[in-house]
């Protein structure tokens, strides 16, 4: 099998979020898919195969489990199709566990169309302040728990207690705050030890929660987000009716082969 490694939400290698991308002619059994993802030891490994109508089946695996939605590995898969596999159309349709997802290439940017997942307010979970070392201003839940704190510096300073975070009954925990720089609207970090990803460098799917939250809070539908992990990444986020567009760049780091 061919394998690529792509740094997503950046135009520079060693930044953004690395994902493995594996095009398939035939699908191995799920155990093999999981073993490959564990061997890759990246936050996500994406597998896709082409359908007769020119669309693609797409699945995502962390080192520990299959997930229902992953943004950066979707962007990475589109990048490989456009840049390495000579996909001729301007839009790619992926069929996934989260339904139909599309990715368009606009100049040097990839724009993903995802479902919008606005968070619902919930009381602050008992273990959360101890787990992140700060009392939140707001907590809400959808596919992930969104935690609003006072400042960008608070987000940068968090040193989470991973065993406590793992006890939260959600896929992951998003910590966010207003950005200090005027050209950026909000910053975030994402922790998902429950699915084998202690801290994800840049998380496209988390922005299906962040985008509607900040669009409502700031009163604007076009936003710029920055995930301030060690590697870091930049995202363009557009709130639409029931959907969000999440845009970013990508660069290929590696191309090779898997032998099993």
CATH number at 48 reads 3.10.310.10
Give yes or no: residues 59 and 77 share one domain: yes
Please, which residues bridge with residue 128 across strands? none
With beta carbons less than 8 A apart as the criterion, state whether 176 and 151 touch: no
Identify the H or E element spanning 32. helix 30-40
Question: Quick one: pLDDT at residue 107?
Answer: 87
Model confidence at 112, pLDDT cuts 50, 70, 90, reads very high
Give yes or no: residues 203 and 147 share one domain: yes
Q: For residues 170 and 167, what is the distance between their CA atoms, to the nearest angstrom?
A: 9
With beta carbons less than 8 A apart as the criterion, state whether 118 and 216 touch: yes
Give yes or no: residues 161 and 251 share one domain: no
Give yes or no: residues 93 and 127 share one domain: no
Burial of 26 (C-beta count, 10 Å sphere; 0-12/13-18/19+): exposed
Give yes or no: residues 156 and 109 share one domain: no
Give yes or no: residues 143 and 86 share one domain: no
Closest CA to 208 of 114, 87, 125, 139: 114
Q: For residues 41 and 38, what is the distance between their CA atoms, to the nearest angstrom?
A: 5
Give yes or no: residues 61 and 170 share one domain: no
Give yes or no: residues 101 and 178 share one domain: no
Give yes or no: residues 82 and 153 share one domain: no
Give yes or no: residues 153 and 214 share one domain: yes
Could you tell me the residue range of the domain that residue 98 belongs to? 2-115+246-257
Give yes or no: residues 89 and 165 share one domain: no
Please state whether beta strands 138-141 and 145-148 pair in parallel, antiparallel, or not at all (unpaired).
antiparallel
Residue count of the chain: 260
Considering only 3-7, 105-109, 231-235, which range has the smallest mean pLDDT? Answer: 105-109
Average pLDDT of the residues in 94-113? 94
169 is annotated as an active-site residue: no
Name the catalytic one among 39, 44, 130, 222: 44
* pTM recorded for the entire structure: 0.89
Q: For residues 259 and 186, what is the distance between their CA atoms, to the nearest angstrom?
A: 43
**How many domains are there within the chain?**
2
Give yes or no: residues 126 and 191 share one domain: yes
């Amino acid at each position: 099998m061919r394998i690529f490694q792509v740094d997503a939400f950046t135009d520079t290698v060693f930044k953004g979020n690395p994902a493995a991308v594996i095009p398939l002619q035939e699908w191995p059994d799920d155990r093999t898919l999981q073993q490959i993802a564990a061997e890759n030891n990246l936050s996500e490994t994406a597998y896709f195969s082409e359908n007769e109508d020119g669309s693609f089946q797409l699945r995502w695996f962390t080192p520990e489990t299959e997930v229902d939605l992953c943004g950066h590995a979707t962007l990475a898969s589109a990048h490989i199709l456009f840049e390495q596999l000579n996909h001729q159309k301007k839009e790619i349709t992926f069929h996934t566990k989260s339904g139909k997802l599309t990715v368009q290439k606009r100049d040097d940017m990839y724009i993903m169309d995802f479902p919008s997942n606005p968070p619902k307010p919930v009381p602050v979970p008992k273990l959360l302040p101890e787990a992140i070392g700060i009392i939140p201003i707001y907590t809400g839940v959808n596919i992930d728990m969104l935690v609003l704190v006072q400042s960008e510096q608070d987000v940068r300073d968090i040193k989470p207690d991973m065993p406590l975070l793992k006890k939260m009954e959600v896929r992951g925990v998003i910590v966010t705050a207003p950005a200090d720089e005027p050209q950026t609207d909000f910053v975030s970090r994402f922790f998902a030890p429950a699915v084998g990803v202690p801290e994800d460098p840049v998380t496209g799917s988390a922005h299906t929660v962040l985008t509607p939250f900040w669009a409502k809070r700031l009163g604007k539908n076009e936003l710029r987000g920055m995930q301030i992990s060690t590697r870091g990444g930049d995202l363009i986020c557009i709130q639409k009716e029931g959907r969000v567009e999440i845009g970013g760049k990508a660069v290929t780091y590696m191309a090779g082969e898997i032998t099993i």
